[in-house]
Amino acid sequence: MTPGAIAIRALIIGFIISLAVITGFAYTTLLERKVLARLQHRVGPNRAGYIPIPWRGGEKRLLGGFMQPAADAVKLFMKEDPTPAKVDRVTYNIAPMLAVIPAILILAVIPWAPAFRLGPWRFTPYFAVAPGINVGVLFILAVTSISVYGVILAGWASNSKYAVLGGIRASAQMISYELALGIIVLIPIMMANSMNLGDIVEAQRPVWFIFIQPLAAIVFFIAALAELQRAPFDLLEAEQELSAGFNVEYAGMRFGMFFMAEYMKMISLSAIFSTFFLGGYGGPFVDRLPWLGFIYIILKIIFCLVLMIWIRASLPRLRYDQLMGFGWKGLLPIAVLNFIITAVLIVMAEEGTLAPLLDTVRQFFIG
């Protein structure tokens, strides 16, 4: 293929995936409200949009609440969008974009399906916006770091002490937990011997990394929750302390962009977790039916989203000192120790000294 054809194909795929993620963001909010309602014995949204079905003299409502995300979007569009006096207008307007754009960019390197042909186009080595990038993991780490600037600049540009405190808290929290996240990401890199996400997915056949490295998967998931500022790590939106945190001076669609960024990052980090530890698009019969890869990874993403929502419904918010102490004194040492032990075991396996050591230990306990 010519460079022009490759660029056009990447633009088309990027547009499709971006549209799917934006739609997915809207219905992730509905999923959260429905799951939280079920866990807390409430009804949840069931009025905006439903299909009436005659049922035993009455009617049954199918897909109740299906149009609730559209109703929320219309409400946000109709909201007044004032700009407070004495804000830094340029930074104030750019900050929501810096929050949303990285959430979409992350998905550029995520493998969605194995190689297949569609008409004249052949998607190889796997289906992605930018397939075959040898530094895909490094790209993810770089892009996720940009979102910190959106939060801190939003707080600083708002010219409000509550927003500044929320921004400082958020940036300190995100940077602290990114250290553990960055170290844990090295585990699948070492086990696959590659930073190419396609190679990491292929290395998980037939056993997913979550079964080989369950501790690394747990640390990654907890650090991802803190990166998202989701409960129980939602200290930047502790209303009893900060009156909504860094985005307190935002309204209308500018507030909606921060709201959208949170849920889009939930989808993006769920896709990353699925790729690193749940086998990505891998699953039964995916070699013969490549389109199954899309279904498998979407189901894994939905599983991660439901787990995040379940945690929000179950755990109380941490105090700020508890949050920082847990990150620096808990997750970071665990991540470092896990990294060192994994590296030592991989080197021993490559040099052929691990198998005799395991035999010696087995004979010691059996004998």
pLDDT digit string, tens, across residues 224-261: 999 888 888 887 666 566 567 788 889 888 888 888 88
For residue 367, the model assigns a pLDDT of 59
3-class SS at 175?
helix
Q: What is residue 241's predicted lDDT score, i.e. its pLDDT?
A: 64
Q: What is the largest CA-CA distance in the chain?
A: 78
Q: Name which of 70, 27, 31, 32 is nearest 48 in CA terms.
A: 70
Provide the pLDDT for residue 109.
Answer: 92
**Helices marked H in the chain — which ranges?**
3-39, 68-78, 89-105, 136-157, 161-192, 197-202, 209-212, 214-228, 239-242, 252-277, 292-314, 320-325, 332-351, 354-366
Burial of residue 300 (CB within 10 Å: 0-12, 13-18, 19+) is buried
pLDDT at 243: 67
What is residue 242's predicted lDDT score, i.e. its pLDDT?
Answer: 59
pLDDT for the residue numbered 73: 84
Contact by Cβ (8 Å): 91, 156: yes
Structure tokens at 252: 């209308």
The rounded Cα 324 to chain-centroid distance in angstroms is 21
The predicted pLDDT at position 1 comes to 63
CA separation, residue 323 to residues 163, 169, 171, 223, 233 (Å):
19, 11, 13, 11, 7
Across the chain, which has 367 residues, the per-10-residue mean pLDDT values are 77 86 88 92 83 73 82 85 88 91 90 88 88 91 87 89 84 88 94 94 93 95 90 73 77 87 92 95 92 95 95 88 91 95 91 82 75
Q: What is the pLDDT of residues 189-217, one digit of tens each?
A: 999 999 999 999 999 988 999 999 999 99
> What is the spatial distance between Cα 208 and Cα 224, in angstroms, rounded to a whole number?
19
* pLDDT value at residue 238: 62
pLDDT digits (tens, 9 = 90+) for 316-334: 888 888 889 999 999 999 9
Q: Does this model's pTM top 0.95?
A: no
Predicted local distance difference test score (pLDDT) of residue 196? 94
